[in-house]
Amino acid sequence: MSTNEIVVTRDLLLRYDRPGPRYTSYPTAPEWTEAFGDADYREALARAAVNAAEPLSLYFHLPFCHERCLFCGCNVVISKRQDVAENYLEYLYREIGMGAAALGERRTVRQVHWGGGTPTFLTVPQIETLFNTIAAHFEIAPGAEIALEVDPCVTTREQLEALRALGFNRISMGAQDFDPHVQQIVNRNQTEAETRRLVAWCRELGFGGVNIDLIYGLPEQRPDTWEKTIETTIDLRPDRLAVYSYAHIPDKIKHQRRLEAYRRPEGPEKYELFANARRMFLEAGYRAIGMDHFALPEDELSVAMDARRLHRNFMGYTVVPGCDQIGFGVSAISEVGGAYAQDEKRPVMYYKALDEGRFPTLVGIRLTPDDEVRRWLIRQLMCNFHLDLAQLERRYGLIYDDYFADEEQRLREYYDEGFLTREGDALRVLPLGQVFIRNVCMVFDAFLRKDGAHRQFSRTV
C-alpha cells in the first residue's frame, strides 16, 4: 500500500480515535510538578552549561493578541493597547540575562523562534530591541533558523522589512480556514486577500521559508468549503504546511465553551477532512512529514525525513538535532539538562519571581533514565516512523526484547491491524499506522499505564 492509498475504515476510527498525548514532550505535561522550581531549573542549566560547544535552541513567548480566537489553546493576553508590551519586555530582558549567565560559555544558537500570541503585536522599535538583546547575550550561528509566527490581519510590510533586516528567515502564519462563516464563528476574521498579500511580501523580501497552518475539525466546517480552503492554500504554494486537529477541551479552555452551540465534525467525518487535505496536498506535489505536516520535496524537512534524521521539539518538526531548548517568557517551556521546565503562566506571577531574583519556573520534571529511553524511542516513531532497535540498544545499553517485553505483547494488536511491522532490527510504522501514530506511541508511555484513565488529552485523530 502506498502512502497515497491509506484506507481508514469507520470501524478503525471508532476503535482508535481516543484521547491521547501529542508527545511534544515525554513525560507529558500532566506529569510535571510544582515541586520542580527555581533551584531545580538552575541545576538543569548548570548541567547544560558543561557542554559549552553544543548549540542551543531558543524560544521566546510573546503573548499579546488584539483579539481572541475561540479555538486557541495558547497562553495569550488580549489588548488593543500597543504599550502593554513594554513592561513585559523589560522583564523578558531580565530573564534573558539570567538564562545566559546560568549557561556560562554555552551561548551558540542554531534555532530562534518567537511564538505567541502574536509577535507582530510588537512595534518595530520593540522588535529591534528584543532581537538586539538576544544577540547581545547569545551568538546566533551562521545559517541559523530564525523564525516567528505572524498574524496576516495585523502584520505590516514595515514589520516584515525590519524582521528580514535583523536576519529572520522563516515566517509561519495561521490561516486555519478561509471560509468566512467558519472564521466568524471562531472569531478569526482573516481574508484571503490579507493572507495573499502577506505571502507575497515575504517572497519579495527574501524569507527563505513560508509556513501556513490550517485546522480541521472546527465548528461548521464542511467538505465543500474545506476543499476550497485547501485549493487556496495550494495556490499560495507555501514551503511547509501544518494541518492540525482541533482540540476541543472546553473544561480546560473556558472560551471554547462559546463554540458548544455549533455543530463540529467528529469521528469519521472529522478524519475525512484531514484525509481530503492530505490527498490534495500530495497530489499537488507536497510530501507528508510526520503526523500532520507537509513540505515541498526540496524543503529541508523532506530531505531530513528521507535520511531518518527528522527531529521534533516544542517549536515543531525540525532538522536541528535534539539540542537543549531554552524558553523565555510567560508559559515558555525549556527542555534542558535532562529536565523540562515551564515558566509561570500569569504575567503577575512571572513578574513577581523575576523581581525576587528567581527564575519564574511554575512546573517541571527531571527525567529518569527510563524517561530518556522512552522519550528517544517515541520521538523516533513520531518523526521518522521508524525505530532502529540496534541503535536504541547501543545508545542506552539495553536489550529491546527484554526491556520492552510487555510493550511487544501489547503491540501485537497493532501488528495485526497493519499499523506497523518488525523488520529485522527495526520497527517500521506502515502507512495506516501513521494515521494512528499517537496510539502506537501510547503503548510505550509508562505513565498512561499507571493512571492514564483520568488524563485529559485531545483525541488522537
Question: Are the C-beta atoms of 69 and 246 separated by less than 8 Å?
Answer: no
The rounded distance, in Å, linking the Cα atoms of 423 and 412 is: 14
* pLDDT tens, residue by residue, 351-405: 999 999 999 999 999 999 999 999 999 999 998 999 999 999 999 999 999 999 9
CA distance 303 to 336: 27
**pLDDT value at position 353?**
98
Distance CA 126, CA 457 (A): 36
Question: Cell triple for residue 401?
Answer: 526484547
Give the percent of the chain with pLDDT over 70. 97
CA 433 remoteness from chain centre: 21
Could you give all domains of the chain from N- to C-terminal order, each with its CATH number?
1-27+367-452 (1.10.10.920), 29-326 (3.80.30.20)
User: How many CB atoms sit inside 10 A of residue 50's CB?
Assistant: 11
- At 326 the pLDDT is 97
Give pLDDT, residue 453: 45
Backbone angles phi and psi of 178, in degrees to 5: -85, -5
User: Per-residue pLDDT tens for 203-218?
Assistant: 999 999 999 999 999 9
Give the Cα separation of 205 and 200 in Å (integer): 9
- Residue 287 is predicted with a pLDDT of 92
**CA–CA distances in Å: residue 158 to residues 61, 123, 363:** 22, 10, 38
| Spatial CA neighbour of 74 closest among 141, 4, 149, 3 | 149
Rg, C-alpha atoms of the chain: 22
Query: What does 160-187 look like in DSSP terms, one character per residue?
Result: HHHHHHHT--EEEEEEE---HHHHHHHT
Strand 333-336 relative to strand 420-422, pairing: unpaired
pLDDT tens string 10-27: 888 889 888 899 898 999
Q: What is the pLDDT of residues 71-123, one digit of tens each?
A: 998 889 988 887 889 999 999 999 999 999 999 999 999 999 999 999 999 99
The distance from CA 267 to its chain's CA centroid, rounded to whole angstroms, is: 23
> pLDDT tens for residues 299-337?
888 888 888 888 787 777 887 766 799 999 999 999 999
Contact indicator for 124, 154 with CB cutoff of 8 Å: no
Flag whether the pTM goes above 0.85: yes
CB 333 within 8 A of CB 324: no
For residue 73, the model assigns a pLDDT of 87
